[in-house]
């Protein structure tokens, strides 16, 4: 990749994690960034994961779910031992992670948030997550994603 990389790609390189970068031309007219990325790369939407931030009892938390589904906020709250979760304000998500919406990676965030990776990820040898900018996907093993984010694995997608 041209330039010095993103915090996500730098973290992967520093930790020596096996991964592949998949750049693609982002669709500037979409709000479904993950689905557009899956289509551009020819990746099954179940293997392309989006990074969503939620407000759980006034704490920002991170959920990583397939782009083919949506986040179950009740399941997220239960997985992290909270009471009530709601989707986070996009500006708060950007400030906390250091990434822009559509390019938020679960890796290398400015503030490390408690994270849940949907259990469906464990059904694949590798999954795709944002590489830290629109138009960059990172493919890695689910176990490495969980380890690097300190995530809990739970069924949080529907």
CA-to-CA separations, 114 to 64, 104, 106, 146, in angstroms, rounded: 11, 15, 10, 11
- What is the predicted pLDDT for the residue at 27? 75
Structural tokens at position 40: 């551009």
**Nearest 5°: CA angle at 75, between 74 and 80?**
100
pLDDT > 90: what percent of the chain?
87
- Residue spans of the domains in the chain: they are 7-154
- What is the predicted pLDDT for the residue at 3? 54
Model confidence over 116-154: pLDDT tens digits? 999 999 999 999 999 999 999 999 999 999 999 999 999
* pTM, rounded to two decimals: 0.94
Model confidence over 76-107: pLDDT tens digits? 999 999 999 999 999 999 999 999 998 999 99
Distance CA 33, CA 144 (A): 23
Domain covering 7-154: architecture? Alpha-Beta Complex (3.90)
Model confidence over 2-30: pLDDT tens digits? 457 999 999 999 999 999 999 998 877 77
Contact 121/40 with Cβ under 8 angstroms? no
Distance CA 150, CA 153 (A): 10
């Amino acid at each position: 990749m041209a330039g010095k990389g993103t915090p996500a790609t730098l973290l992967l390189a520093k930790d020596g994690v096996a991964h592949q970068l998949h750049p693609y031309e982002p669709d500037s007219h979409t709000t479904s960034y993950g689905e557009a990325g899956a289509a551009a790369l020819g990746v099954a939407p179940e293997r392309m994961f989006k990074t969503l931030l939620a407000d759980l009892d006034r704490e920002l938390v991170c959920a990583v779910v397939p782009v083919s589904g949506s986040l179950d906020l009740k399941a997220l709250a239960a997985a992290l031992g909270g009471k009530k979760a709601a989707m986070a304000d996009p500006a708060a998500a950007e400030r906390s992670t250091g990434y822009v919406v559509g390019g938020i990676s679960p890796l290398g965030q400015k503030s490390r948030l408690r994270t849940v990776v949907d259990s469906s990820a464990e059904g694949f040898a590798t999954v795709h997550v944002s590489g830290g900018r629109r138009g960059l996907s990172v493919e890695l093993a689910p176990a490495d994603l969980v380890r690097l984010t300190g995530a809990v694995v739970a069924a949080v997608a529907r």
